[in-house]
Amino acid sequence: GSNIVVQQQHQQQQQQQKQQQQQQQQQQQQQQQQQQQKQHQQQQQQRPRGDPAEWTVEQVIMHIAATDSQLASHADLFMRHEIDGKALLLLNSDMMMKYMGLKLGPALKICNIINKIRGRKHHVT
């Protein structure tokens, strides 16, 4: 009857392996979720560093979206008009309304962001 004992042991081992696999899968899922959350947090706080005049179009959009998420919807305008850091610092609300077709509200908000960038520009270390 030693065969039966061997079979039972074998079944137990298989069950243990299954449990271990399930635990590993759960751990992997948790890790993935944590990574996704981290990425999400990074996206929210991802403001470009350095001299604003050196920013690319993408960095300009990133900064505006990070400052005011409602303005992220105008990102395509900045792409279309190739507004990089240098151009951003030269923009005013008239230009944004006249040439980019922005409404007064968003234009003023973006102006406010630009003014803050201009003010900060001199304090960049």
Q: CATH number of the domain that 67 lies in?
A: 1.10.150.50
- Identify the domain containing residue 58 by its residue range: 52-121
Say if 109 falls within a structural domain.
Answer: yes
| Residue 105, domain member (yes or no) | yes
Based on the number of CB atoms within 10 Å of its own CB, is 55 exposed (0-12), middle (13-18) or buried (19 or more)? buried
In a domain, 15, yes or no: no
Listed residue (1, 125, 117) closest to 53, CA to CA = 117
H-assigned helices in 1-103: 2-45, 57-67, 75-80, 85-90, 93-99
Q: Within 10 A of 68 (CB to CB), how many other CB atoms are there?
A: 15
Tell me the pLDDT of the chain (125 aa) as tens digits.
Answer: 678 777 888 888 899 999 999 999 988 888 888 777 665 555 555 688 889 999 999 999 999 999 999 999 999 999 999 999 999 999 999 999 999 999 999 999 999 999 999 988 665 44
- Residue 112 is assigned to a structural domain of this protein: yes
d(CA 96, CA 110): 9
Other CB atoms within 10 Å distance of the CB of residue 54 = 11
- pTM attached to this predicted model: 0.61
21, 29 in Cβ contact below 8 A?
A: no
